[in-house]
Every structure is written in C-alpha cells, then in structure tokens.
C-alpha cells in the first residue's frame, strides 16, 4: 500500500512540475487526457459492436455516425508521459527505472 501511495505522489509531483516548466505543458497534458478518453471510448464502441453481433442479444449495431458521436474526434498528439517527464528532470538510472515501473503499473492496457 505504501509503495502504491508513493508512486502516485511521485507521479503527481512530477506531472505538476512538467506542466509548469514546459512551454504549452498544460495543452500537452490535456491532449494526453483526451487521447486516453478517446481510446477508451473507441474500445467501448467496439465492444458494443461485438456484443451486437453475438446471438441472443437485442442490442442494435451502432451506425457509423453513432460510433463517431460516441468516440469523437481524435485529439492532437501529446508529448506527455512519465518517462518523458523523468528524462527531462533527471537522466539517472534510478529515476528511469522508477518511471518505467510506474508506466507499467499505471497503464496495464496496451
């Protein structure tokens, strides 16, 4: 539990510093958040389509316009990541390992 709380605190502090010290950092972070939302909405819409193709389900297939409305436009690319933030502030092996571990824990999905 303590390791998890420490990791979250580390990510929050690092994220705030990166946003404040990076030109356009707030836009980069918003783009990353929107990219995550877009990816999850797309996965949800795809799951609905797969469910609709299953026998014995009464869900109608999403039309292309319904899919687009649910998912939305793909946001601009972002330079934000824990690894990028860590490499900007320190190039020590300890920080790189901590960032790499943090990315694996925080983003278990591909």
**Residue 70 contacts residue 45 (beta carbons within 8 Å):** yes
The one-digit pLDDT tens for each residue of the chain (110 residues) are: 677 788 788 888 888 888 888 888 888 888 888 999 999 998 988 888 777 777 766 566 677 787 788 788 888 887 777 777 777 666 777 766 766 665 554 444 44
What's the pLDDT at 108? 44
Percent of the chain with pLDDT over 90: 4
Q: What is the CA radius of gyration of the chain?
A: 18
The reported pLDDT for the residue numbered 100 is 67
pLDDT at residue 110 in the model: 42
Residue among 102, 37, 31 nearest 22 (CA): 31
Q: Cα–Cα distance between 62 and 90 in angstroms, integer?
A: 47
Structural domain harbouring 100 = 2-106
Q: How many domains does the chain have?
A: 1
């Amino acid at each position: 539990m303590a390791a998890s709380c420490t990791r979250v605190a580390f990510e929050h502090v690092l994220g705030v510093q990166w946003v404040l010290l990076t030109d356009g950092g707030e836009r980069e972070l918003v783009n990353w958040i929107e990219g995550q939302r877009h990816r999850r909405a797309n996965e949800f819409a795809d799951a609905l389509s797969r469910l609709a193709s299953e026998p014995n389900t009464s869900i109608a297939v999403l039309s292309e316009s319904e899919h687009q409305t649910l998912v939305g436009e793909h946001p601009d690319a972002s330079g934000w990541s824990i690894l990028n933030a860590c490499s900007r502030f320190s190039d020590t092996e300890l920080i790189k390992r901590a960032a790499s571990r943090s990315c694996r824990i925080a983003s278990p999905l591909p």
